[in-house]
Amino acid sequence: MKLVVGLGNPGPRYADTRHNVGFRVVERIAARRGVSLDERRFQGRFGRGWLPAPDGASLELGLLLPQTFMNLSGAAVAEALAGLPVADVARDLLVVFDDVDLPFGRLRLRPSGGAGGQRGLVHVIASLGGQDFPRLRFGVGRPEGGGDTADWVLSPFSAEERRDLVGRVEAAAEAVESALLEGVTVAMNRFNRDPADSPSSG
């Protein structure tokens, strides 16, 4: 099984914030693949389905939105990995989250690496005891004038950003599926680029 985890905070108060873009991407994958996220398992919202491969086969897919709040996301991820048939974390887990160090909409896939200050990822790495698992960073930019980053990520996207958000989330969903089907290296070459050049634009 492939497990995709989107990081965010539970509840309507946070639904439209930048910090919840990981949830948005996984919800988009669920919609694309007809997966319901109604199961209450692994301290989160969970669903499973299938991802069709070009050779006619299908990959079993698990989708998880931890409901632990961002800074405790690792507890849900560790519980899911313990309870699901995920054979190789370094190959079969992929975590999606927001990144203030990337411009809005920029995607960056990586096969492993540090947390870069993203507290949800910090907790995932600590809970798993290692950082060798793929991740997709979704750029949300930084506030102009050096404002407080914590307040920034907990604020809604601007009207201008919302106009482009659907397309950028769609590109992120495509990037995740590409990484699962073709491998992270292939997907990196396609999606680690300026959003204007992404496969979903134009």
Catalytic residue IDs = 19
Radius of gyration for the alpha carbons in the chain, expressed in angstroms and rounded: 16
Instruction: Say how far apart CA 70 and CA 144 lie, in whole Å.
Output: 24
Nearest by Cα to 70 from 30, 115, 113, 124: 124
Nearest by Cα to 193 from 111, 97, 133, 109: 109
CB-count burial class (<10 Å; 0-12, 13-18, 19+) for 198: buried
Instruction: Say how far apart CA 193 and CA 186 lie, in whole Å.
Output: 13
For residue 110, what are the CA distances in angstroms to 131, 140, 185?
A: 11, 17, 8
**Which amino acid makes up residue 106?**
R
Q: Which residues partner with 110 through β-bridges?
A: 135
**Which amino acid makes up residue 40?**
R
Instruction: Say how far apart CA 80 and CA 2 lie, in whole Å.
Output: 11
Instruction: Say how far apart CA 199 and CA 202 lie, in whole Å.
Output: 8
